[in-house]
Amino acid sequence: MDQINSSLPSDFIRDIIEDDLKTNKHQGRVATRFPPEPNGYLHIGHAKSVCLNFGIAAQYGTTCNLRMDDTDPSGESMEYVDSIIRDVKWLGFDWNDRLYYASDYYEKLYRYALQLIKEGKAFVCSLSADEIREYRGTFTKPGKESPYCNRSVEENLDLFERMRAGEFEEGTHVLRAKIDMTSPNITMRDPVIYRIKKESHYRTGDRWCIYPMYDFTHCLSDSIERITHSICTLEFENNRPLYDWFLDELKVKYHPQQIEFARLNLSFTVLSKRILIELVERGIVSGWDDPQMPTLAGMRRRGFTSEAIRDFCERIGVARNDNLVDMALLENCVREDLNERAPRVMAVLNPLRVVIDNYPEGQVEEFDCPYHPKNTEMGSRKVPFSKVLYIEQEDFQETPLKKFYRLSIGREVRLRYGYLIKCVSVVKDPDTAEVIEVHCTYDPETRSGFAPDGRKVKATIHWVSAVHSVPAEVRLYDRLFRVANPLEEGSDYKEYLNPKSLETLRSCRLEPSLLADAASGSRFQFERLGYFCVDTVDSSDKIVFNRTVTLRDSWAKIANKR
């Protein structure tokens, strides 16, 4: 523990931990936890918290617990628990046998509540929810005491026990901490700590009909688990005095220290569970794992790697100021990772037929093409070449626009890994006048990609052999929203959804190696087009690729560099 590697991240939270270790606070221990509520899938914001909490544990050689903060029966489910477990594991973190549930602490929490009542520090309040709100006051107006705040301990114990026994209807009574109705911090104005909810809980079933509130549960769960540093997001800053109040008043043995950091906000998407639930429930996306979603399940299906996400979380760092991180930074982390690791292959998304007039009918050549220009360990595969090819429609212009250097009538280009070809004529659809086939000649002397006479071409294009190619569906994903901060635009965020966040192309052609290689979830660079990943859900009776990210730039510009 003495030697902390200098390349490890450092931030104000780690500084606090370093100081605490020096002063032997928490008996020199460091213990963290990641405490999601299983009422939705984890998103990239949660990943920041996961990386921080588990990252600290790894750095100090200690433990990080995974705790389901499940104190509200509405909306929580085992499906969400399973998804959280899957996603944290996928991110690369391990809690060993320390998977905990706040719902396992219900009995302990109940006894803590009894203790508060016995000490005159909590009372059963029979005001309605609206009245409680009204009595609470505002930022400018102090609250006033509940008429029930002076009930005797006996009466409170009796009522609270009967609340637990199910004698009362929802909303008739709550248990409140007795703190200070004039506190400038509204959180401290006799907060509710238990409410009646006659709803089945996904783990405790109908055993309970009173449920503890988050503020009460959270600090005590941390204490029960002997957490030392309870890291949470800034919106809980005002809850810290309450966190400390419960722990102090209950004289617990372990008093964790709450530290707040700025949550991740990411441009062109939303990281609010409420809204993500709405997107799923309204069918705006196909599910929690829709590749348009900022969930870890969606990003994984889209082809993002856990390494890239961890790298992103490290790069954005941890601070106390809220800000909006550019989606481009995340995309770039993904790109950088895949740039090194993804095999490069050829695929044509919008095919245009090319006939090489002077290439012998029936002849097939196999070109040996490396999977990666630098990483030779990745090996190579054979790519067949024949008389009829497909190229990308946008790589041909009948009348070339200015600065268009790719194929057009009379112009020669290089085929990636292959010959130079020259366009000689086109065939048009008689009805639409659209070019449906391009005729070319090839120069047999240019198999190396270069002409012996030294003549240059200005572009290199990708291609597949028509008869050998494999059909596929390709889904082009783009950002979910067309504005950087959809929630700040005022009116309904749904107005800012990007209509082009998904474009499905159904007549794509892939080089044949992919028929064997395209295992579910595998990732490739389609040369010049971007990074793509085999869809893990819809790839049973057809090949479906998801575009993970685009390439920053194509290699068209370096066509003549050897």
Active site residues: 37, 263, 273
Stretch of 33-41, 122-130, 143-151, 166-174 contacting ligand ATP, by CB under 6 A: 33-41
Q: Which is nearer to ligand ATP, 239 or 305 (CB)?
A: 239
Pairing of strands 544-549, 380-385: unpaired
Please, which residues have CB within 8 angstroms of residue 333's CB and are 6 or more apart in sequence? 308, 309, 311, 312, 315
Token pair 């012996």 is found at 452
Q: Does 32 bind ligand ATP (CB under 6 A)?
A: no
Residue 280 contacts ligand ATP per CB under 6 A: no
Which one among 183, 185, 233, 550 touches ligand ATP, defined by CB under 6 A? 233
Minimum separation from the CB atom of position 263 to ligand ATP (A):
3
Interface pick for ligand ATP out of 48, 67, 201, 335 (rule CB under 6 A): 48
Contact status: 46 vs ligand ATP (CB under 6 A): yes
Angle of the 306-316 helix axis to the 327-341 helix axis, nearest 10: 140
Q: Which of residues 53-72 bind ligand ATP (CB under 6 A)?
A: 69
Which segments within 89-146 are labelled E, that is strand?
99-101, 122-125
Sheet (strand 470-477) strand order: 344-345, 523-526, 530-534, 544-549, 470-477, 502-510, 347-348
Q: Which of 37, 225, 289, 392 binds ligand ATP (CB under 6 A)?
A: 37
Does the footprint of ligand ATP cover residue 267 (CB under 6 A)? no
Rounded to a whole number of angstroms, the minimum distance from the CB of residue 72 to ligand ATP is 10
Residue 206's closest CA among 242, 165, 245? 165
Q: Which region, judged by CB under 6 A, interacts with ligand ATP, from 30-38, 58-66, 128-136, 138-146?
A: 30-38
Residue-wise DSSP of 433-473 = --EEEEEEEE-GGGTTSS-TT----S-EE-EEETTT-EEEE
Does residue 274 bind ligand ATP (CB under 6 A)? yes
Q: Which stretch binds ligand ATP (CB under 6 A): 46-54, 249-257, 424-432, 450-458?
A: 46-54
- DSSP labels, 43-104: BHHHHHHHHHHHHHHHHTT-EEEEEE-----TT--HHHHHHHHHHHHHHT---TT-EEEGGG
| SS3 of residue 275 by DSSP | helix
Binding-residue total with ligand ATP (CB under 6 A): 16
CB of residue 318 to ligand ATP, shortest distance in Å: 9
Stretch that binds ligand ATP, among 250-258, 269-277, 379-387, 543-551 (CB under 6 A): 269-277
Q: With CB under 6 A as the contact rule, which of the stretches 120-128, 144-152, 270-278, 321-329 interacts with ligand ATP?
A: 270-278
Q: What are phi and psi of 250, to 5 degrees?
A: -90, 0
Judged by beta carbon, residue 35 or residue 303, the one nearer ligand ATP is: 35
Position 296 contacts ligand ATP (CB under 6 A): no
Nearest to ligand ATP by Cβ — which residue?
45
CA pair distance 139, 130, nearest whole angstrom: 17
Query: Would you state the structure tokens that stand for residue 505, as one six-digit string?
Result: 């192309």
Asked if 485 touches ligand ATP (CB under 6 A), the answer is no
Per DSSP, which regions of 192-272 are E strands?
A: 192-196, 210-212, 229-233, 257-261, 265-266
Q: Which of 17, 26, 41, 45 binds ligand ATP (CB under 6 A)?
A: 45
* Neighbour tally for 491: CB within 10 Å: 7
Please tell me whether residue 91 binds ligand ATP under the rule CB under 6 A: no
Chain residues binding ligand ATP by CB under 6 A are 35-37, 45-46, 48-49, 69, 232-233, 263-264, 271-274
